[in-house]
Amino acid sequence: MRASQFFIATLKEAPSDAEIVSHQLMLRAGLIRRLAGGIYTWMPMGLRVLRKVETIVREEMNRAGGIELLMPAVQPFELWEESGRGPQYGPELLRFKDRHQRDFVIGPTHEEVITDIVRREVKSYRQLPRNFYQIQTKFRDEIRPRFGVMRGREFLMKDGYSFHTSFADLEREYRSMHDAYTRIFTRLGLKFRAVAADTGSIGGTGSHEFHVLADSGEDAIAFCPTSDYAANVELAEAVTPQKIGAGETAAIEKCEKKATPGKTKCADVADFLNAPLTQTVKAVAVMAGSAREIGQFVLLLLRGDHELNEIKAQKLIGEFRFARDEEIVAALGCKPGYIGPVGFNGRIIADRAVAVMNNFICGANAEGYHLTGANFSRDLPLPAEIADIRNVVAGDPSPDGKGTLELCRGIEVGHIFQLRTKYAEALKCTFLDEQGKEQIMEMGCYGIGVSRIIGAAIEQGHDERGIVFPAGIAPFAVVIVPMAYGKSTMVKTAADALYAELLAAGIDVVLDDRDERPGSMFADWELIGVPHRVVVGERGLKDGKLEYKGRSDVDATLVAADEITGFLQ
């Protein structure tokens, strides 16, 4: 590539709304431009990086036996009704109607669509197992898109889905995907860690996330340096059982006595309890409107609701907006007298609020609250050692008895799940076994945040001059910077010859023939993060030398002109 024929769009200053370094540098280096909140154009320079990440992901998925396909971004909402996920997913799901008033969504994920394909196409155990994947644009109407492409609304994901005749076979594929992910993130040149994880709204049982380790990460991870133990603290919050204390029971009873069904508002409850009225409580008030939810107000008031911010509260409204009680019970599959997980992330609070509400529906009183560590939709018992890390501090013993825990922050770049039969059952995705008997398929799903990876890589790789890309994903591997390309025939001839030689050697090289001031050319390529720079100047050429500098090197070194290609390979 010749720089004069490409498009370089570097900026001196980052726009002030870019909060973290990767977002600032991606804008300054001209990799992305914002169109709307959480929606970005991949500029030519950025697209080169995105394609390189995609290629590594694709190669390793193919090597692991994945079969690529491409599903539509637009999905009929009926499929989401069929899977039962429609009402649960909340406002992150972008819905719209076509001209015939039919409901559609822009896919935030594709479990429903792939299951629909497989139920139509795969009939026999002989066609299984299969692992389909795509690299495709997703849309999630994130409440607070931020950090550039790290939490976008439109983003590129690799999503894969596997189908099996047995759980044992799903477990085998899950391990194989775990290994493939390890290869992918290693090849991408990232410092990462696989951690035990919560399954979120995708549902299912076993699950691991892959985190790029960075202080700006939104997730907290507890890990043991001397063993394999690593878990997302969110998971512990999601599964840690908590009892309703005597004080809380008394408060609930007090409110029940004072409240008038259909009339009492949250503000009144706050008043009865002499407690502050918070955002969360206001949010809950929007969600429901009868005496039933008094219990949940009370609990929310009493339990750390001050820790909740508006985002979480918004999410709480969203998850069950417009749902009727019966729908909530059906969506969650919860039983009378059964209360789910407690903790302080938005989804869990929503679960808890609904569970408490269900208890009221079911006529259970505060006494009857039966707390367990399992989630409504998950019937597997959760490992006790995970529950212990909720309030962990560095240096606490580890749950597996093999050392002490440390804490770090991570950016979730990959997530694998054992979905089991959740979707296959809802969508009747079955096969005929060897005896000709109809069975439900076991399913796994495997996501990678392809576009998020680039932000995460920059969080790990940067200095005061700009991006320090891992070699495998830099937009160019080598930049040739000629001194006075337009003025010196000697330099022009040598630079053109070197450019041709490196191209012929299969090296991804850019020739900066823009003939700008050397300082500004150097600054551009350091900002963009190209790993290797070769300067072609008259002074060196007279001795048969070129000046080489690696992106993180302090000083340049002289390399014989006839050895440079070998040196760069």
Contacts with ligand ATP, residue ranges (CB under 6 A): 109, 140, 142, 151-152, 155, 157, 200, 202, 412-415, 447, 449, 451-452
Among 321, 416, 346, smallest CA distance to 144 is for 346
C-beta of 282 vs 409, nearer to Mg ion:
409
C-beta of 109 vs 278, nearer to ligand ATP:
109
Among 546, 504, 510, smallest CA distance to 530 is for 510
Q: Distance of alpha carbon 471 from its chain centroid, rounded?
A: 23
Strand partners, 157: 136, 449
431-460 binders of Mg ion (CB under 5 A):
none
Decide which of Mg ion, ligand ATP, none touches 452; Cβ closer than 5 to 8 Å per partner kind.
ligand ATP
C-beta of 157 vs 509, nearer to ligand ATP:
157
In sequence order, the 6+-apart residues with CB closer than 8 A to the CB of 347 are: 200, 201, 238, 315, 319
Decide which of ligand ATP, Mg ion, none touches 81; Cβ closer than 5 to 8 Å per partner kind.
none
Q: What is the DSSP letter of 278?
A: -
Name the minimum Å distance from CB 320 to ligand ATP: 18
Per residue, the 3-state secondary structure of 213-237, as one string, reads ECCCCCEEEEECCCCCCEEEHHHHH
Contact call for residues 555 and 561 (beta carbons, < 8 A): no
- CA-CA distance, 148 to 18, in Å (whole number)? 7
Name the minimum Å distance from CB 69 to Mg ion: 22
Residue nearest to ligand ATP (CB): 449
The rounded radius of gyration (Å) of the Cα atoms in the chain is 28
Contact call for residues 55 and 171 (beta carbons, < 8 A): no
Name the minimum Å distance from CB 448 to ligand ATP: 6
Name the minimum Å distance from CB 179 to ligand ATP: 18
Name the minimum Å distance from CB 447 to ligand ATP: 3
What is the length of the chain?
569
Name the minimum Å distance from CB 200 to Mg ion: 6
Name the minimum Å distance from CB 475 to Mg ion: 28
Strand partners, 414: 210, 448
C-beta of 255 vs 389, nearer to ligand ATP:
389
In sequence order, the 6+-apart residues with CB closer than 8 A to the CB of 356 are: 293, 295, 296, 299, 339, 369
C-beta of 151 vs 420, nearer to ligand ATP:
151
Decide which of Mg ion, ligand ATP, none touches 413; Cβ closer than 5 to 8 Å per partner kind.
ligand ATP
Name the minimum Å distance from CB 237 to ligand ATP: 13
Among 528, 527, 413, smallest CA distance to 155 is for 413
One character per residue 383-422, x = contact with Mg ion (rule: CB under 5 A)? -----------------------------x--x-------
One character per residue 115-144, x = contact with Mg ion (rule: CB under 5 A)? ------------------------------
C-beta of 138 vs 514, nearer to ligand ATP:
138
Decide which of ligand ATP, Mg ion, none touches 551; Cβ closer than 5 to 8 Å per partner kind.
none
Contact call for residues 143 and 314 (beta carbons, < 8 A): yes
Element (H, E) at 425: helix 422-426
Q: Is 101 left (phi over 0), alpha (psi -120 to 50) or beta?
A: left
Decide which of Mg ion, ligand ATP, none touches 61; Cβ closer than 5 to 8 Å per partner kind.
none
C-beta of 141 vs 412, nearer to Mg ion:
412
Among 293, 442, 283, 267, smallest CA distance to 358 is for 293
C-beta of 3 vs 18, nearer to ligand ATP:
18
Residues found near Mg ion in the complex (CB under 5 A): 412, 415
